[in-house]
Every structure is written in C-alpha cells, then in structure tokens.
Chain A
C-alpha cells in the first residue's frame, strides 16, 4: 500500500505527517529545527527521500537543510552526513547558505534598484528563501525562489547556489514588494520542455523562460490590477499569488492573483478571468486535482486587508469545469467563527485515487481530504502557524 508523507513548514519548525494510503491514521513527527521559520520543504520527484528545506530567521539568516532519508536526519548540504564535526576541518562549510546576487561582468547583471512600498527605489538585498523546487529530472538540481526576488539554482544537491540573473532584466526597477515582501514564491517546471520554467513574484508578476533560465519575459497579457497599479494592465507589477499546472497539460495554467482567479490556455501568452461565482476572488493558494486537469481548488479570503475567510466560514472552492463555476466544500471545515488564513504554499495534492487534498492554516491546523475535497478532517490542530504544505505519494 502507498504511503503519504506531508511536509509541513511552520513559523516555528517543520513537521512530517505520515499515513498509509487509507489516509485515516496519521503519525506526526517534529518539530524539526524548532524555533526557526521553515518557509518550505519539498522532496525530489525522482528521489523522494531527498528533501530540501528552507530554514530561516529574521535574526540569524538563511540555512539550507537537506535530508537523504525522507526527513529522519538532516544536514547542511555543504557537509556530507556523518562527516566529523568536532574539528575545524569537519565543520559544515556553510556555503550552502550563501545566496549572492550575480553581479559579475561575465555572467551577471548589475545590482540595480527596485521599488519600495513608498515608490522610492531601494537596492536589492537578500532576505530569505521562500520556495525550493527540485528538478523533475535530476535530484541534485534544485531551484530557489528568494526575497528580494530572484531565482537561484544549485546543480550539486544544494551545496552551492548561482543566480539566474537574466530575470532581473525584465524591468526589475518597477518591481515592488507585496505585503509579504518582494518574494519569488512560485516555480513551475514544464514537464514536456526542460527549457521552459514559469515563476511568479509578489509584486512583479509572472515570467517565463524558454532557454533554461538565461532570458525571461513577462507573461501578463490579460492581467488587470486596477486598484494596485497606476496602469491597470502594465507589463510588470501585478501581485501574482500562485500558479498551478497539471503535468499532462503544461500549456494550461491557473493563477490566483491578489484579486482575480485567472487561466491561460497558451502557456501564459494570455490570461482570462475565471473567478465566476466565488464569494471573493482574493486568496493565496490554487491547485489542480491529480487526475482531473479541469478540477481546480482555491480558498477564498475576504480581502487584501482582511486575511480571513468571508463570514467566518472556512471553505475550499472546487471547480470541475476549469473555472467560472465553483462549489463550496465545507464538510468537516469550521463554518462559524473561523478567521485563519491559508498561505500560497500551504496547499497540495497527493496522487492516489481518489485524490487527496491538503492545506494548512495560520491557526496551525492541517486539514486533509481523502475524497477530492468532499469531506475534510484535521490531521493536526495545534501546530505553529503553517507556512507551507507539500505532499509526497510514496509507493
């Protein structure tokens, strides 16, 4: 029988939740790295026991952790597991934590400025890794989305990182931080074309490369940000919250924008709105059913200043028609006095049949549904605020 492993990043550590394929009884393991913010953990799709984690702190900076045994033990990838650590030569080297923007004349770009909240220009400054996206084909290759927004890649299992600086070329001076910071939070690889990657930044928009990350362009035609930008359909500046793709249809993308749920049928060349009958089209996560490419999930949130569900009711909305027609999924979710948030990286799906859906809240609950959203149960109720949820379906 399959095993499900849910990787949960929280404000105060990481937790690993495991169950068999029935998804009824869960084992909760953690906290790992207690006291640190775990922005994101994600396993390699081709070597699932290889898990990368972003451990970060406003106090003490960025640490990259890696497990090669499914989360039982961890190490900083600059030092192999088991290497002696009691002598100076045996200490972790720490180079896996070094994210330096590439400003070299040969390969990089000058480190210019971007907009601050008040519209003034500020220099780029590394803050943290928001998202780690392991390669679809190589367990040693992993991408990191960082704040201030840039994309980094490691080709040696996270030991060292290099920026893909061409991204900052796309009108970087007009990018600005969203409420959570100027973060690159979404990295989507096209399984049919290894040269094509999509990324999204708050608040800069969404971008695509077709040459493995050397050059990029904004793919924002059809996005409108009437209340956020002086030019509502500007090329850059849109606050994109999340993009999702079904691997069998890589040209179809779903987007939760600051306001508006959007869809593209042409690899991001153009977008159209699919918010339809949602009670509010603000929100953070969006995801696609593992076996039904037209079944999409969002969690509507009241507004950009009121980061909680409308009417105190926590509802996941599901569309089985690729958007526009949405149904509220409420069975097992609190339908009164609930004022939690669900962040952009805090929803994921497993690949069992029926498909399992998982999400975590700012109140520390992780909910799961073993029937594609028809009913929900909490796996845990009292974790620290959840930042990210990823799911691994293991044979």
Chain B
C-alpha cells in the first residue's frame, strides 16, 4: 500500500481528508503512483502533471524520506520505504512567491 500526502488545495479538490492509500501494481515509481492517484481521483489530472505532456507542473515538488525527488526520472524506482508504505510520498506546492 502506497501512502500519498497531498497539499490542502488538492485534498479539497479530491474531497478527502488525510493521506491517500493506493494499490500500485508493478514497479513503484513516480509515474505509477501518479497514474494510480489519477485513476482514483480523476479530477487531479492536470493539477500535478500537465494534461498533455505529463510533465510535473513547475510549482509542484515531490518529497519522500527527507529527499527531494522532484528531478528524478518519472520511471525511477521510489525508495523502498515508500514502496512498502513505511514512509509517505509527499506531493507539495513549491514555496514560490513567499
């Protein structure tokens, strides 16, 4: 079970409180986690990744295990602690603009 933490605005859009828990089949990567997230909550399409290119939006960052994973390739494996559910995958709004 993958744990995902969303920023407040996206929790409001998805109408959820707290963490999201996702079943991710196969390799646990940014892409597979975001794909699963968007299947469960289709209204989040376009809010984390661009609709067309699927590139991470500029003001969204990905953190886990005290690391910034924003610039990791989307198909790179996420840390084991994320894959086992010990640590959450954090989707964060960047601190642009103060």
A binding-site residues for B, Cβ under 8 Å: 35-36, 57-63, 76, 78, 85, 88, 91-95, 97-101, 126
Q: Which of B39, B93, B96 contacts A60 (CB 8 A)?
A: B93
Q: Which of B42, B46, B59, B96 contacts A62 (CB 8 A)?
A: B46
Beyond A35-B9, A60-B93, A63-B13, is A97–B60 a contact (Cβ under 8 Å)? Answer: no
Q: Please provide the 7 A-B residue pairs with the shortest distance between their CB atoms, ordered closest to farther.
A: A94-B43, A60-B47, A59-B59, A92-B43, A94-B42, A59-B93, A61-B46
Beyond A35-B9, A59-B60, A63-B13, is A98–B42 a contact (Cβ under 8 Å)? Answer: no
Residue of B nearest to A92 (CB): B43
Q: Which of B9, B10, B51 contacts A99 (CB 8 A)?
A: B51
- Give B58 Cβ to nearest chain A Cβ, in Å: 8
User: With the chains together, A86 CA to B33 CA distance in Å?
Assistant: 20
Beyond A58-B96, A97-B45, is A126–B51 a contact (Cβ under 8 Å)? Answer: yes
Verify if B44 is at the interface (C-beta below 8 Å from A).
yes
Subset of 14 A-B contacts with CB under 8 Å: A35-B8, A59-B9, A60-B9, A60-B59, A60-B93, A61-B57, A63-B47, A91-B14, A93-B43, A94-B42, A95-B42, A99-B51, A101-B52, A126-B52
Inter-subunit contact B42/A92 (CB<8 Å):
yes
User: With the chains together, A91 CA to B9 CA distance in Å?
Assistant: 16
Query: Which B residues, 43 to 81, have Cβ-Cβ distances below 8 Å to chain A?
Result: 43-48, 50-52, 57-60
Please indicate the chain B residues that have their CB under 8 angstroms from the CB of A95 in the complex. Answer: 42
User: With the chains together, A35 CA to B8 CA distance in Å?
Assistant: 10
Q: Which of A60, A85, A98 contacts B60 (CB 8 A)?
A: A60
Verify if B25 is at the interface (C-beta below 8 Å from A).
no
Inter-subunit contact B57/A59 (CB<8 Å):
yes
User: With the chains together, A36 CA to B8 CA distance in Å?
Assistant: 12
A-B contacts besides A35-B8, A91-B42, A126-B52, 10 pairs, CB < 8 Å:
A57-B9, A58-B97, A59-B96, A60-B13, A60-B57, A60-B59, A60-B93, A94-B43, A126-B50, A126-B51
User: With the chains together, A93 CA to B96 CA distance in Å?
Assistant: 29
- Give A226 Cβ to nearest chain B Cβ, in Å: 35
Q: Which of B9, B45, B58, B59 contacts A36 (CB 8 A)?
A: B9
Please indicate the chain B residues that have their CB under 8 angstroms from the CB of A93 in the complex. Answer: 42-43
Please indicate the chain A residues that have their CB under 8 angstroms from the CB of B46 in the complex. Answer: 61-62, 94, 97-98
User: With the chains together, A91 CA to B13 CA distance in Å?
Assistant: 10
Beyond A100-B52, A126-B52, is A61–B43 a contact (Cβ under 8 Å)? Answer: no
Beyond A58-B59, A60-B57, A85-B15, is A97–B43 a contact (Cβ under 8 Å)? Answer: yes
- Give A103 Cβ to nearest chain B Cβ, in Å: 9
Please indicate the chain B residues that have their CB under 8 angstroms from the CB of A61 in the complex. Answer: 46-47, 50, 57
Inter-subunit contact B45/A91 (CB<8 Å):
no
User: With the chains together, A126 CA to B7 CA distance in Å?
Assistant: 22
Residue of A nearest to B15 (CB): A85
B binding-site residues for A, Cβ under 8 Å: 7-10, 13-15, 39-48, 50-52, 57-60, 93-94, 96-97
> Which of A57, A59, A92, A100: most chain B CB closer than 10 A?
A59
User: With the chains together, A163 CA to B54 CA distance in Å?
Assistant: 20
Inter-subunit contact A91/B51 (CB<8 Å):
no
Q: Which of A35, A58, A91 contacts B43 (CB 8 A)?
A: A91
- Give A353 Cβ to nearest chain B Cβ, in Å: 42
Please indicate the chain A residues that have their CB under 8 angstroms from the CB of B39 in the complex. Answer: 88
Inter-subunit contact B43/A76 (CB<8 Å):
yes
Please indicate the chain B residues that have their CB under 8 angstroms from the CB of A36 in the complex. Answer: 9
Q: Which of A35, A98, A101, A126 contacts B45 (CB 8 A)?
A: A98
Please indicate the chain A residues that have their CB under 8 angstroms from the CB of B14 in the complex. Answer: 91
Q: Which of A60, A85, A92, A100 contacts B48 (CB 8 A)?
A: A60
Please indicate the chain B residues that have their CB under 8 angstroms from the CB of A62 in the complex. Answer: 46
Please indicate the chain A residues that have their CB under 8 angstroms from the CB of B59 in the complex. Answer: 58-60
Inter-subunit contact B45/A94 (CB<8 Å):
yes
- Give A30 Cβ to nearest chain B Cβ, in Å: 16
User: With the chains together, A17 CA to B32 CA distance in Å?
Assistant: 45
User: With the chains together, A372 CA to B70 CA distance in Å?
Assistant: 54
Please indicate the chain B residues that have their CB under 8 angstroms from the CB of A85 in the complex. Answer: 15
Please indicate the chain A residues that have their CB under 8 angstroms from the CB of B40 in the complex. Answer: 88, 91
- Give A37 Cβ to nearest chain B Cβ, in Å: 11
User: With the chains together, A100 CA to B50 CA distance in Å?
Assistant: 10
User: With the chains together, A326 CA to B9 CA distance in Å?
Assistant: 46
Q: Which of A35, A58, A63, A100 contacts B51 (CB 8 A)?
A: A100
